[in-house]
Amino acid sequence: MIYCQHHAVFPISFICTASHQCQRLLCSECTQNHGVNQKFLLYLNIFSEKLKMAAQENNFVNNNIQRQQIHIGFKSLFHSIEILVKKMVENFNDEIIKLLKQIEIIDNKFETVLTKDTPLTEFSVQDLGFLIDIIMNKKLSTWNKQKNSIFQSLNTILKKLNENIQKKSFQNYQQQCLNQQEKQDIKGFQKNTTINSEKKKNLKKNRMCNDTTGKLINIQFGITFKNDNRIEYIKDGAIIRSDSIKEISKKPKVMTNMDQIMNLNWVGQYGQNNLKIGKWTIKWEGKILQDVGGEYNQKQYYNLNKLYSVDEKKQGKWKEIIKNYWSKAQVYKVGEYQNGLRTGKWKYIYGENVIGGGKYNEQGNKMEQWVELSSHFWDHSCVTYKGEYKNGIKVG
């Protein structure tokens, strides 16, 4: 029997099933002050029985044999494909060599009769007939055209094969074979069934410009996901920032810009389900950035006389910072949102000047002419690019 850490004389008897963060395993004394409806507090033996019933009702089976059979099937298939591709490459190579050899033989014959100072009296009747064809029937001209056509076709094939290899066409095909929705379902299920544990990410690198030299330098830092739904940013062994993860149902946003990690904070309110509501703005180096930010509009409904929020979407006019915003790249994007999508005309503002921008269609995709900023835009490298979009895709 295991006893409660907080009430040493009381054994652990209950499990809390409510949708919130808590220690889960409780004693009878803990349940008195736990602050949840009694229906969410189950005896351990009852909870165990419910687990067994769930497994029986859903015919749960660990399909280890089926997984192995599928793996063996694909392994055999890939081996067959490997043999087939190898044979195809060998045959193709043989055909190319054979064709080039035939061209070489004909070229050598032309070279023999045209480039050597051999008296005509020493040529065979067959060779003399070949020479007459060159003069009377333009045989050399015809051969050159035919040969150049073959070379052009082979170069085209070579170019296309190289392009397909560079584009990793086979990898793209493999990715298409597994339905995208199935992959998303698997990822989502893995996310929801992961047992809580602290996770550390590999060191991140952030390339930033030195204030004095303007040269790009690498800054390394670490990221740790904590059990209490926080993200910690660590540099040189010290915690330089700690953020709470409010929306635990979504993938947390991780900051990779060191200047933003040190100086950027969003300011606003959360409503039901920890979703953003109302006006949100930005603090930079502890000071509110004037007119930066905008409004969140939520879909809401009543249930048991309580107001719940089920969505958060940007609405109306917004002034946002660019992705690589820092102290030497204070550029803003200004425009309108409708139901969470950018729409109409958007501008890039640098100081008091409009330095770029373009239009979004009703689906939130870029359209027509755009002037965009370099990903490394800053005070001493104000590079922009001009081009055209069609339904969110660059053209021309």
Q: What is the pLDDT of residues 175-234, one digit of tens each?
A: 554 445 444 544 444 444 443 445 555 555 555 554 544 455 677 888 888 877 888 998
Task: Determine the Cα–Cα distance for residues 313 and 295; give it in Å rounded to an integer.
Answer: 8
Residues 298 and 389 both lie in one domain: yes
Residues 124 and 149 both lie in one domain: yes
Q: What is the pLDDT of residues 131-144, one digit of tens each?
A: 888 888 788 888 88
Structure tokens of 192? Answer: 């929801």
Q: Does the residue 299 lie in any domain? A: yes
Per the CB < 8 A criterion, the answer to whether 333 and 347 are in contact is yes
Q: Does the residue 147 lie in any domain? A: yes
Reading phi first (left if > 0) and then psi (alpha if -120 to 50, else beta), residue 22 is in beta
pLDDT above 90 (res 335): yes
Task: Determine the Cα–Cα distance for residues 232 and 391; give it in Å rounded to an integer.
Answer: 38
Per the CB < 8 A criterion, the answer to whether 232 and 241 are in contact is yes
Residues 146 and 53 both lie in one domain: no
Q: Does the residue 86 lie in any domain? A: yes
φ/ψ of residue 71, rounded to 5? -60, -45
Q: What is the per-residue pLDDT for 132?
A: 86
Whether the model clears a pTM of 0.75, i.e. scores above it, the answer is no
Residue with tokens 């544990």: 197
Domain count, the chain: 3
Query: In this structure, how many other beta carbons lie within 10 angstroms of the beta carbon of residue 15?
Result: 16
- State the amino acid at position 279 in one-letter form: K
Q: What is the pLDDT of residues 148-157, one digit of tens each?
A: 888 888 888 8
Position with higher pLDDT, 348 vs 310: 348
Residue 220's DSSP bridge partners are 205
Q: What is the pLDDT of residues 2-57, one digit of tens each?
A: 888 888 899 999 999 998 888 899 999 999 989 899 999 999 999 999 998 888 88
Query: In this structure, how many other beta carbons lie within 10 angstroms of the beta carbon of residue 7?
Result: 14
Residues 48 and 132 both lie in one domain: no
Residues 45 and 98 both lie in one domain: no
Domain boundary pick from 176, 198, 224: 176
Long-range contacts of 261-267 (CB under 8 A, 24+ apart): 261/221, 261/233, 263/327, 264/321, 264/325, 266/293
Residue 118 carries which DSSP code? -
Residues 319 and 288 both lie in one domain: yes
Going across the sheet that includes 276-284, the strands are 264-270, 276-284, 287-297, 313-321, 331-338, 341-350, 353-360, 366-373, 384-390, 393-395
* Per-residue confidence band for 396, with pLDDT thresholds at 50, 70 and 90: confident
Strands 230-235 and 238-244: antiparallel
Domain boundary pick from 176, 201, 222: 176
Q: Does the residue 202 lie in any domain? A: no
Residue ranges making up the domain that contains 301: 257-396
Domain boundary pick from 140, 157, 176: 176
Q: What is the pLDDT of residues 97-142, one digit of tens each?
A: 888 898 898 888 888 778 777 788 887 887 788 788 888 878 888 8
Q: What is the per-residue pLDDT for 321?
A: 96
Structure tokens of 213? Answer: 């030299």
Residues 277 and 392 both lie in one domain: yes
Query: In this structure, how many other beta carbons lie within 10 angstroms of the beta carbon of residue 221?
Result: 18
Q: Does the residue 214 lie in any domain? A: no
Residues 343 and 379 both lie in one domain: yes
Task: Determine the Cα–Cα distance for residues 333 and 341; give it in Å rounded to an integer.
Answer: 14
Residues 105 and 24 both lie in one domain: no
Residues 73 and 48 both lie in one domain: no
- Supply the DSSP string of 124-173, one letter for each residue: -HHHHHHHHHHHHS-HHHHHHHHHHHHHHHHHHHHHHHHHHHHTTHHHHH
Q: Does the residue 97 lie in any domain? A: yes
Q: How would you class 113 by CB atoms within 10 Å of its CB: exposed for 0-12, middle for 13-18, buried for 19 or more?
A: middle
